[in-house]
Homo-oligomer: A and B are copies of this chain.
Amino acid sequence: TIEEKLKEKLAVLNHYERAITLLNWDMYTAVPRLGYQGMADTVAFLSQRQFELATSDEFYALLGEAMEPTVFEALDEGMQYSVRTLYRDQTKQRRIPVDFVKRYVEAQSVSRRVWEEAKTGNDFSMFAPHLQAMIDLTREKCSYTDPDQDVYNVLLDQYEEGMHAEIIDSVFGELKEGLLPLLEKLRNKPHNPSRLYERTYPLHQQEKVQQLLLEYIGFNFSAGTTAQSMHPFTLGFSRNDVRVTNHFHLNNPISAMFSAIHEGGHAIFDQNVDPALMGTEADSCRYMGLHESQSRFYENILGRRRSFWEPVYDKIKLLLPEMSDIPLDEFVSEINYIHPSFIRTEADEVTYCLHIILRYEIEQAIFRDGAKADELPELWNVKTQELLGITPSGDSEGILQDMHWSDGSFGYFPSYLLGNIYDGLFLETMTDELGDIDDILSQGEIQTITKWLNSKIHRYGSLRLPAKVIEEVCHRPLSARPLLAYFSKKYDAVKA
């Protein structure tokens, strides 16, 4: 039958995917320096095989047959999702001229390399023509895949399906309006750097803290493992094998703790997708904003509360005796220190929002207003002053800090902040349904929260679009107000 043929093809694609994913995992976590190229060559070989199969006329015809209503309606939800998205993606993909793909990939590879050099050399001018090329190629690509559609909406849709600039304009605008006065109030709050950073914390003990925190929030070690890498990330093979990495700093144990909680949040999502979806395209969440909402819920909404740490802080001090004279209040104050700074990835939970709004406004300038690459550093600096009240001393701590644009990932940044905004709504709904979050956490009942997220969000994998999740879980429209309410309650209280 068509369904059997489909399942067979999906299984083959999944085998290639698993091997490629493992090769990548190895390249980030284990491979010795001289072995890297061999792994990269095998990734290229297997990716080519997988690509040939995924884009074959035969497979496209099979998907077409499966789209016929009589066939389609007999499929289960996971297979319906697979057929619909693969058919749609292939239909778009097949509109792209072969020579364009070649031009795009080559430009991308050069652009990434030049961006690295430019960042190291603090010199935007050498990167400008390549950034402009990526902008132009991105417009061209959208003109093939989605003719007559607004380019920026097409880009947003890639990362957060169903999202439109009109919606983002509204929620980001609301958030900006609320945050600027809040930041004004917090900006000059005195803060003494904690004595925490004056000590040295052995890495193998920090690893034990990571293990403790992951277990605490609900990471399942029977279906996951950990490793070290340059930058922390999460990678999933299936709900049965989800891996997180971390990076440990000798004098700063907090950094790895929060990376563990953040990546753990991503992993808990993937580990709790309905087993019935395994092997389908819906078996993990493909929406960046929704995925990020879960990592940030653990990292910020839960992880920055005093009540989150109450049940585990003493255990952590046993593992890190260097911290034993740091009272919980000093630790909690340190992890909630709000202050404008230049680098997005190091920002606190309040100013982080403004870092994303900055990038969103610049992407709007490019794709809505036609701004050119060489106008962007000036725009970046002006907007940083407007939003954060500070101006970068050079492009490395300004427009060159993130790699996303260098490889054409325009439209990705907003999804990070959408995650935080969704979290405001999830928090409000959860509090209505479960009661006060601090009570739950301080009683050591964090599993109640994890189970709520599992049953409301995680189990569906990709089956529900983000907007649908918000509607079904929260029964209220998308808005930045719940996030603002969370910030106001938390930081006005701190100030009082």
Chain A: residues with CB nearer than 8 A to chain B? 12, 15, 18-19, 22-23, 26, 30-35, 37-39, 41-42, 45-46, 204, 221-225, 227, 237-238, 240-241
CA distance A241 to B35 in the complex (A): 5
State the Cβ distance, A370 to closest chain B Cβ, in Å.
45
User: Contacts A23-B22, A42-B19, A45-B15 known; A35 to B227 CB distance under 8 Å?
Assistant: no
Given A12-B45, A15-B46, is A225 in contact with B32 using a C-beta cutoff of 8 Å? yes
Q: A41 to chain B: which residues have CB within 8 Å?
A: 15
Chain B residues in 8 Å Cβ range of A240: 32, 34-35, 37-38
Do B34 and A222 touch across chains, with their CB atoms under 8 A apart?
A: yes
Nearest-neighbour CB distance to chain B for A429, whole angstroms, equals 31
A33 and B204 contact, Cβ closer than 8 Å, known pairs A15-B42, A38-B237, A45-B12: no
User: Is the beta-carbon distance between A223 and B15 smaller than 8 angstroms?
Assistant: no
Asked whether, in the complex, the Cβ of B223 is within 8 Å of the Cβ of A34, the reply is: yes
Bound-complex Cα distance A240 to B34 (A): 5
| CB-nearest residue of chain B to A203 | B204
Q: Copy number in this complex?
A: 2
Interface centre among A19, A31, A37, A222 (most CB of B within 10 A): A19
Tell me the bound Cα distance from A204 to B26 in angstroms: 22
Q: What residues of chain B lie closer than 8 Å to A12, measured between beta carbons?
A: 45
- A223: min CB distance to chain B, Å: 4
Complex Cα gap A191–B459 (Å)? 62
Q: How long is the Cα–Cα vector from A225 to B18 in the complex, in angstroms?
A: 22
- Cα–Cα distance between A42 and B16 once the two chains are bound (Å): 8
> Bound state CA distance, A41 and B31, in angstroms?
23
How far is B31's CA from A238's CA once the two chains are assembled, in angstroms?
Answer: 12
Residue from the list B32, B223, B227 in contact with A241, Cβ < 8 A: B32
Contacts of A222 in B (CB 8 A): 32-34
Do B15 and A22 touch across chains, with their CB atoms under 8 A apart?
A: no
How far apart are A243's CB and chain B's nearest CB, in angstroms?
8
Select which of B15, B31, B204 is within 8 A of A225 by beta carbon: B31
Give every chain B residue within 8 A of A39 (Cβ-Cβ): 18, 22, 237, 241
CA distance A15 to B23 in the complex (A): 11
Q: Which of B18, B32, B221 contacts A42 (CB 8 A)?
A: B18
**When chains A and B are docked, how far (Å) is the Cα of A238 from the Cα of B12?**
27
